[in-house]
Amino acid sequence: MRGLAALLVAAVLAAGCAPMTQVTLLPQPDGKPSAVEVTPEQNGVATAAATELSRPYDSAEVRVGAAVQVEQLDAKTVEERHARLLSVQPPVPEQFLLYFETGSSTLTTESQSALDTVLKEATSRPGGEIMVIGHTDSVGAQEYNDALSLERAKFVREMILKRGFSPDRVYASGRGKRELLVPTEDQVDEPKNRRVEILVR
């Protein structure tokens, strides 16, 4: 799977036919492209060639020993066919952003002002997980930015834990300069890239 493809999977057993699985690619909430590769298998062995679904609402019928059949659906058709499955999807993760001063784990003045509200909202969903992902701009070496992004994430994680959130449900990671919010050339000082992303699932 490429990206965070949202999948709708329904297993159907038709009388006198081989079991069939239907896979439908749903659009990402943020509009980013996603894709999934579908391969019919039996006992862990591929029985037909793989097929990629890469457009929202691509839908594939997968049967053992048969080529994958793909059709392009629309939102209304998917909702009509799979209303029950769609109704039990987990909620879409909430996202919050906090920004940092250059080369440090010090929040900008604006983010310091917003910190209390962001943390209150981030910890208001009961039972979920919180992913804290640190990022940097493209200035500096990869190793330096990896360490700085993780430092930023750990700082925000500690703020969340002080709100009483369980430590085993809050994860911190650093992406360095690999996932720029604003694409730039290397060694560009872009304030919006110096951030921590908080995802509440």
Same domain? For 142 and 76 the reply is no
Give CA–CA dist 105/194, Å, rounded.
Answer: 9
Same domain? For 153 and 133 the reply is yes
Closest-CA residue to 76 (of 57, 95, 62): 57
Same domain? For 80 and 173 the reply is no
1 belongs to a structural domain: no
Give CA–CA dist 82/57, Å, rounded.
Answer: 12
Give CA–CA dist 38/89, Å, rounded.
Answer: 21
Range of the domain at 149: 94-200
How many domains is the chain built from?
A: 2
Same domain? For 106 and 46 the reply is no
Distances (CA, A) of 58 to 3, 26, 187: 16, 8, 40
CATH number, domain of 140, equals 3.30.1330.60
Same domain? For 78 and 100 the reply is no
Q: Which of 54, 87, 120 marks a domain boundary? A: 87
pLDDT tens string 134-175: 999 999 999 999 999 999 999 999 999 998 888 998 999 999
68 belongs to a structural domain: yes
108 belongs to a structural domain: yes
Closest-CA residue to 59 (of 7, 108, 3, 119): 7
Report the DSSP beta bridge partners of residue 119. Answer: none
Same domain? For 196 and 135 the reply is yes
pLDDT tens string 30-67: 777 888 888 888 777 877 788 888 899 998 888 777 78
Same domain? For 10 and 71 the reply is yes
pLDDT tens string 102-132: 999 999 999 999 988 888 888 787 667 899 9
Same domain? For 183 and 105 the reply is yes
CA angle 148, 131, 194 (to 5 degrees): 35
144 belongs to a structural domain: yes
